[in-house]
Chains A and B, each alone.
Chain A
Amino acid sequence: MHRLAGVFAGFFAGLFVAFAVLAGSAWSPALAQDKNLLVFAAASMKNALDDIAAAYTAKTGAKIVASYGASSALAKQIEQGAPADVFASADTDWMDYAIASKIINEPTRVNLVGNSIVLIAPKDSGIDKVTIGPGFDLAKLAGDGKIATADVKSVPVGKYAKASLEKLGAWTAAEPKFAMTENVRAALTLVARGEAVLGIVYATDAKVEPGVKMVGTFPPDSHPSIIYPVAVTATAKGEATDYLAFLRTSAAKAIFEKYGFRFLVSPTT
């Protein structure tokens, strides 16, 4: 028995040393990452921005490292000193917050794309087409199950959802049934896995997830316009403005629209 433990320990020790050497060789205090652009973007932009990043790298050779999450969390991280070069928020509130915290290069801000929020259900759900209007009873539709969306207090999609439901008079009854997640993609996953019977996410999220189906659209006038502002941060590298400019090109527009975003500015090139 000692022999076996000894073998394990020896194996582990060897692995340890090997990886330490590997890790050491990859070590650079001024990280190679410093030559890359760090983009903090709303989770709902992941698919579109990943494609755009690939296109940007193909065109310019510069690499993009992206950190996707709730706009609320990202804004606070940049405020705490996270070295992001570009910030893309899912609502204007959080961009305004970031600007007020003096972490944004304000003149570079542009309201880039728009979106809409939809009601989704697991692909094999019995719920089919639902009309969402005044008097819509979300609580009844959900029955015993949970409704997934991101935190309604801070994350943009949650805020839009709550605003809309309040306008439609459906919020109070439905509130206890909500399962609130950290960001919109987590909510999407809950529905895709069947853990929640319904979910409120962006139309663009519903489009990329085969495990869910869209069962209704929230009337655009029931909530503030969904606008995604993008800007360069105050501590950004010079190349960041190039990237931002690329986001405004028709190449980028095509990618955004492919995923269902509305392009809000006149495309360049």
Chain B
Amino acid sequence: MFDISPTEWTAIQLSLRVATVATLVATPLGIALAWLLARRDFWGKPVVDAAIHLPLVLPPVVTGYLLLLTFGRRGLVGAWLADHLGIVFAFRWTGAALACGIMAFPLLVRPIRLSIEAVDRRLEQAAGTLGAAPWRVFLTVTLPLALPGVLAGMVLGFAKAIGEFGATITFVSNIPGETQTISSAIYSLIQTPDGDTAALRLVVVSIVIAMAALIASEWFARRALRRLHGN
């Protein structure tokens, strides 16, 4: 029962690679946007906020299809990227990473935004009076105090990215070794008459990863609370 076949192993490796890349790339952007939403008011702010949360609310297939239309080989942006920069997303693991990153983004941004909002602005003021320029205030005061929230967001985003299915399979389909993640592999296996055992193995792997991610995220969230209450 615990004999993992090469196909399953490939799917697990691919899922981890896709989710890791998606999370690492999305995090700096997520921190920047979270800071903007937490600390600044600007024209169009509600729209930006809604747009960030859209992937959470739209049917994943819709998100996947929109990605196909935009970043597919013949898509508006995709065609340009492929012709001029040689960057291809469609039917590549990079496309899977893009889909997973977008789906995970709202889950990443939210905890970060909340933890930045929870940082006492008076501390940031104090830092300013001590000679810290705004970017240094961010790096030396805001971010360290918001760090547990950032980590919680990253872990949550990672868990979402590794479990993503609808948008991924619509955008980059289900090519073994390239875009067949754990979810797509399970999907294929349960449609195959003798694929149940293998599917169950992957289901167990999925659950283990998701549980670990959720527990870690919860741990970071609690640390955040402790840290902000002055240790």
A, B co-complexed: yes
Which one, A1-9, A91-99, A250-258, is touching chain B? Answer: A1-9
Knowing A19-B16, A80-B90, A82-B91 are in contact, say whether A6-B219 is a contact too (CB < 8 A). Answer: yes
CB <8 Å contact, B72 and A183: no
Chain A contacts of B216 at CB under 8 A? 8-9, 12-13
| Interface size of B as a range | 20 to 34
Chain A contacts of B73 at CB under 8 A? 80-81
Closest to B78 in A: A81
- How close is A205's CB to chain B, nearest CB, in angstroms? 9
Which one, A23-31, A108-116, A128-136, A238-246, is touching chain B? Answer: A23-31
Knowing A65-B175, A69-B174 are in contact, say whether A188-B193 is a contact too (CB < 8 A). Answer: yes
Within the complex, which residue of B20, B177, B190, B193 is in contact with A33, where a contact is CB–CB below 8 Å?
B177
CB <8 Å contact, A183 and B176: no
Knowing A12-B213, A13-B216, A80-B73 are in contact, say whether A65-B91 is a contact too (CB < 8 A). Answer: no
Bound Cα distance from A90 to B177, whole angstroms: 24
CB <8 Å contact, A80 and B72: yes
Closest to A211 in B: B193
Query: Which residues of B169-189 are within 8 A (CB) of A?
Result: 173-178
Query: Which residues of A142-187 are within 8 A (CB) of B?
Result: 181-183, 185-186
CB <8 Å contact, A22 and B219: no
Within the complex, which residue of A19, A26, A81, A182 is in contact with B90, where a contact is CB–CB below 8 Å?
A81
Closest to B87 in A: A29
CB <8 Å contact, B13 and A82: no
Query: Which residues of B63-102 are within 8 A (CB) of A?
Result: 68, 72-74, 78, 88, 90-93
Is A51 close to B, CB under 8 A? no
Bound Cα distance from A10 to B208, whole angstroms: 14
Query: Which residues of A1-59 are within 8 A (CB) of B?
Result: 2, 5-6, 8-9, 11-13, 15-16, 19-20, 22-24, 26-27, 31, 33, 38
CB <8 Å contact, B72 and A23: no
- How close is B78's CB to chain A, nearest CB, in angstroms? 8
CB <8 Å contact, A185 and B13: no
Closest to A181 in B: B191
Chain A contacts of B72 at CB under 8 A? 80-81
Chain B contacts of A185 at CB under 8 A? 191-193
Bound Cα distance from A236 to B178, whole angstroms: 17
Is B218 close to A, CB under 8 A? yes
Chain B contacts of A12 at CB under 8 A? 212-213, 215-216
Chain A contacts of B17 at CB under 8 A? 23-24, 26-27
Can you list 10 A-B pairs with a CB-CB distance of less than 8 A? A2-B222, A5-B219, A12-B213, A19-B20, A22-B13, A33-B178, A81-B72, A81-B90, A192-B193, A211-B193
The 3 residue pairs across chains A and B that have the minimum distance between CB atoms:
A81-B73, A23-B17, A12-B212
A residues near B, CB below 8 A? Answer: 2, 5-6, 8-9, 11-13, 15-16, 19-20, 22-24, 26-27, 31, 33, 38, 65-67, 69, 73, 77, 80-83, 181-183, 185-186, 188-189, 192, 209, 211
